Structure 1
Amino acid sequence: MNAKTIFFIGVILSASGFVSPPIALLGGIAFGFSFVHPYSLDSKNLSHFLLQAAVVALGFGMNLHEVVHAGRSGFLYTAISISVAMVFGWMLGRLLKVSSKASFLITVGTAICGGSAIAAIAPITKPGEDEMAMSLGTVFILNSVALLLFPAIGVALHMSQTQFGLWSALAIHDTSSVVGAAAKYGAQALQIGTTVKLARALWIVPVAALTALATKSEARVKLPWFILLFCIAAVANTYLPIGTRVYPMLSHLGRIGLTVVLFLIGSGLSKETVKRVGVRPFLQGVFLWAIVATASLVAIRAGWITL
């Protein structure tokens, strides 16, 4: 079979509902390392749209009161987490002598929401092609590792659903992997992880605005409108019983869509991606992620971060 056929088989299996998010991601990575992607650009565009649509659909399975509670607490925790990550990211970039633009993109991607944050900041900082590739490659590789590693750590440490949801939201880069890891851990972890992660993603707006101000850039700062739609879906699920039969189906479709997203993201990783990252940017990403993940885990286990 050729690459196109195998790619479509992977997408179909991921959308079947019988494949878990981690398996879909592993299948995508296996494809990316084995074949030249026949639809590289289309796959990236589709994964971006499908991720947002899946998050909105997941909102139909959420209770608004719990979303507001988790989001309100999560906004403060994410503010602290992002501030700490930005400081340590800057220090590590200087220490490892990573180019300033690549270092900033890796830092923002780790601090806020992975590739989405990098995509939002890139038009403002205008990095070179190699700097962009290094930043995205570093974040995507570590993001994939997190999805596979975090649930195992959570089980080993006997973390509660609430603890794991918080930890995954604060320490995993991309929304897709946060939701994938939390969904594997449990329904409550999924709700908390998704909500707190979206609160973290909202920080794209002020960080992008401050970056544009500091660099005197005239690039437009894009608002993450899908987060508002997620809240509207939660409102419908909580207050509009007329759709009671439909909401669970939409939420289920959201999970399936997310699984497809993870396959698409995995298929975008390749040997060339790994080669282009470079040692120093990758080390910056690894060290920064280790700091964020460890600090947030310790804080949650000690009871300093709670909902």
Structure 2
Amino acid sequence: MSMIDQGRRTSSAIGAWLGGVLPGLGLTFAIACAATAVQRLTGIAALSPLVVAMVLGIALRNLGGTPQAARPGITFSLRRVLRFAIVLLGFQLTLDQVRAVGLPGLAVISVALAATFVFTRWAGRLLGVEPRLAELIAAGTSVCGASAVIATNTVTRGTDEDVAYAIACVTVFGSLAMLALPVLGEVMAMDPAHYGIWVGATVHEVAQVVGAGFQHGPEAGQAATVAKLSRVMLLAPLILILGAAARRGGAAAQASAPTPWFVLGFAAVVLFNSAVALPAALHGEIVGLTAFLLTMALAAMGLETDIRKLRAKGLRPLALGALAWSFIAILGLGLVLLI
């Protein structure tokens, strides 16, 4: 076969692939635009476009159905777009930020994260919650909300309904934490730095952390944000550990839990971001792009979610989310008071 024929066949294959992916990719892009617009028009910082996109996707799937032609692009958004976005998350972290938290702060964050993850999985078994769903709730509560849920599912391999339920749990209880912790911090007259570490180490989403942290002033807000970003960095080792554990579980697990190489890309970007200072404008554009790509992934997740299956899971996972939230809040407070 000549080089010209090979080139034609390659171009034809690429064109066919693009034709299959573009409808679904365009649909998730449109939903992400709508979700972003909702957040900007309302002006509510804690109203995450990720959650709005997932709700819109669920509504479209369950009220009108997902077009068959869109399925390849939806799958592409769930896998490739999501993993690329997780790599880009590394541009929001530097090693200097981690050092700024200090060893006591890092100890609080690490212990609270590990203990909450283990406790939630254990409590899930006691409550009879499916192990994969319990693991996703554990990741979302202990690390960073919706982003941790969808990243962890690359190795946990839960259903779309598992992911949607876990995100709903961390959204509900993270919002409650955002409202409750400022009141408790005021009652206990906590030092701003200590209050910030408590919020950053225990509240679920980054936006929720910012909302709760800055209610006690700029010092508390900055401490909360840095503590939260340091906690996000621990997502990479968590996923690598879960992936390695799944592969040791036998042939079936090996087939379903590939090495999450994108996590190594995330770590590499963190190192790059620590060594090279990007222009502020470019950094801001990357942060915005990352949020938008994650929103597309959540839109795809919603488009794949059957609400009848979600309802069938019952209230036990919700009870698990409440237990996990209570555990990390109380443990985090105790650890902060110790330091």
Q: TM-score, length-normalised on structure 2?
A: 0.63
Is structure 2 residue 168 aligned with structure 1 residue 145? Answer: no
Counterpart selection for 1:213 from 234, 248, 261: 248
Letter of the structure 2 residue corresponding to residue 67 of structure 1 = V
Alignment partner, residue 236 of structure 1 = 276
What is the rounded CA distance, in whole Å, between the counterparts of 1:14 and 1:49 in structure 2? 24
Alignment partner, residue 204 of structure 1 = 239
- Please say which of residues 179-188 and 223-232 is displaced more in the overlay: 179-188
CA RMSD of aligned residues (A): 4.0
Q: In the TM superposition, what whole-angstrom CA distance separates every residue of 1:241-289 from its partner, at most 9, and x where no partner exists? A: xx5xx1x2233224423542464355333694443234547523x3333
The 5 Å alignment of 1:76-91 reads 77-79=109-111, 81-91=113-123
**What's the offset of the Cα at 1:193?**
0.4
List alignment gaps of at least 5 residues for structure 2: 1-25, 187-191, 214-220
In terms of fraction of residues, the more helix-rich structure is 2
| CA separation of 1:117 and 1:10: change in aligned 2, threshold 3 A | same
SS at structure 2 position matched to 1:203: helix
Q: Max radius of gyration: which structure?
A: 2
Is structure 2 residue 300 aligned with structure 1 residue 275? Answer: no
The 5 Å alignment of 1:244-263 reads 246=279, 248-261=280-293, 263=295
Matched length:
278
What is the rounded CA distance, in whole Å, between the counterparts of 2:198 and 2:114 in structure 1? 14
| Alpha-carbon contact 2:196-2:223 (below 8 Å) kept | no
SS at structure 2 position matched to 1:115: helix
What is the rounded CA distance, in whole Å, between the counterparts of 2:294 and 2:46 in structure 1? 7
What is the rounded CA distance, in whole Å, between the counterparts of 1:117 and 1:306 in structure 2? 31
Alignment partner, residue 135 of structure 1 = 162
Counterpart selection for 1:10 from 34, 38, 54: 34
What is the rounded CA distance, in whole Å, between the counterparts of 1:164 and 1:145 in structure 2? 21
- With a CA cutoff of 8 Å and minimum separation of 6, indicate the structure with the bigger relative contact order: 1
What is the rounded CA distance, in whole Å, between the counterparts of 2:42 and 2:155 in structure 1? 34
Counterpart selection for 1:57 from 76, 85, 91: 91
**What's the offset of the Cα at 1:144?**
3.1
| CA separation of 1:191 and 1:93: change in aligned 2, threshold 3 A | same
Letter of the structure 1 residue corresponding to residue 322 of structure 2 = A
| Alpha-carbon contact 1:106-1:139 (below 8 Å) kept | yes
Q: TM-score, length-normalised on structure 1?
A: 0.69
| CA separation of 1:158 and 1:188: change in aligned 2, threshold 3 A | same
The 5 Å alignment of 1:94-113 reads 94-96=126-128, 98-104=129-135, 106-107=137-138, 110-111=141-142, 113=148
